[in-house]
Structure 1
Amino acid sequence: MLVLAADQFAKHLALENLPYQEPVHVLGDFLIFYLTRNPGAAFSLGEGVTWIFTIALAAVALVIVYLAVTRVSSRLWAVALGLLLGGVLGNLTDRVLREPGFPVGHVVDFINTPWMMPAIYNVADIFIVTMMIGVALLVLVGLHLDGTRERRGAESDAPSGDEQSDAEASGQTKD
């Protein structure tokens, strides 16, 4: 909920204080605020099918909540999915509550970093992208939703029953 609140508060401040579609150079060309409303997805793709993004965001939010309730017992997964959920809910809130109305509201974007990418984004987008990278890393290191780690290597490398029990007791196999 903290990510959702931060995203909506930042969007509120942007709407109240920034001129519409005029660049405000905060740190030269490193950070520019540029208030706009995005009816589509990234780079304004799919402007005519905004309602599909609303359905997709709602589906993603439901899957995250389902996984959190039924399968996640790893702290790292809980944090990553919780922050991802906050970002998803931030943009879903815009799709549901902002003009031109339910379920085709436009997402408020205002952060521009032209040195990094030619896009204008918001706080929710930052959490969505960074947490998707975090999820990919958790998968790559073999950490399962329940906190167990995927075994790598041949069976001969696996610890014996006593070594495995010692490792589990010391918390080395769970997050």
Structure 2
Amino acid sequence: MVVLGAILLVLDQITKNWAEANLEELVPQPFLGEFLQLTLLYNSGAAWGMGSGITPVVTCLQMLIVVGVLVFAVTTVRSPWYALALGMILGGALGNIHDRLLRPPAPFRGEVVDFLELPNWPVFNIADMGVVGGAILVVLLSVIGLHTDPSAAEAEKPAAAETEAPEERKA
């Protein structure tokens, strides 16, 4: 999980640095025709620019989420699928936190570099893809009933079978 998060963080920062060095702000460049364009912009808010006036609060909330993900992963998660999802969320969150802490205009007020643009969708970055993809994977895993700790789920099955009434077992 931590390795995946670190890889995603590095990939995110490399692509953001490339975008800043090679793209002109707010000038779309076709990448895959009209489907995917590269448009450099700076986002001082959270998702879709919301909360741009409270960037320090957004930054602190993101840091709390990272701590929560780490605590949850260490104390609860034993499933490789959940570890994958949390690694994606961790790497993406750290990529955007890095921008907020170290990019202009100031620490805790830094603007996130966004540069990927799909039709009728806000401009985003690799970190955003990690956070959203990881969150979707967590929801999907929950919906299909995959436990965060498969060995704990197996241990619960015999205990549940023993508490059933005999007539329920026959049915």
TM-score range for the pair, normalised by the shorter chain length? 0.7 to 0.9
How far 1:121 sits from its partner (Å)? 0.2
**Structure 2 counterpart of 1:51:** 56
Q: CA deviation at 1:144?
A: 2.2
Question: Which of structures 1 and 2 has the larger relative contact order (alpha carbons within 8 angstroms, sep 6+)?
Answer: 2
Kindly indicate whether residue 72 of structure 2 is the aligned counterpart of residue 95 of structure 1: no
Q: Deviations over 1:93-117 (max 9, x none)?
A: 1111111111011000000011xx4
Match of residue 122 from structure 1: 125
Residue ranges of structure 2 left out of the alignment (5+ in a row): 1-5, 158-163
Give the aligned partner of residue 89 of structure 2: 84
User: Which whole-Å CA distance do the structure 2 matches of 1:42 and 1:110 have between them?
Assistant: 14
What do you get for the CA RMSD once the two structures are aligned?
Answer: 1.9
Structure with the larger helix share:
2
State the 1:72 CA deviation.
1.2
2:23 corresponds, among 5, 18, 32, to 18
Measured in 2, the distance between the counterparts of 1:33 and 1:65 equals: 32
Cα distance in 2, alignment partners of residues 73 and 42 from structure 1: 30
TM-score (norm 2): 0.84
> Pick from 112, 116, 120: which aligns with 1:111?
116
Q: Distance in 2 between matches of 1:95 and 1:138?
A: 31
**Partner Cα distance (2:133, 2:87) in 1:** 12
* Structure 1 gaps, min length 5: 161-175
How many residue pairs get aligned? The number is 153
Identity percentage of aligned residues: 40
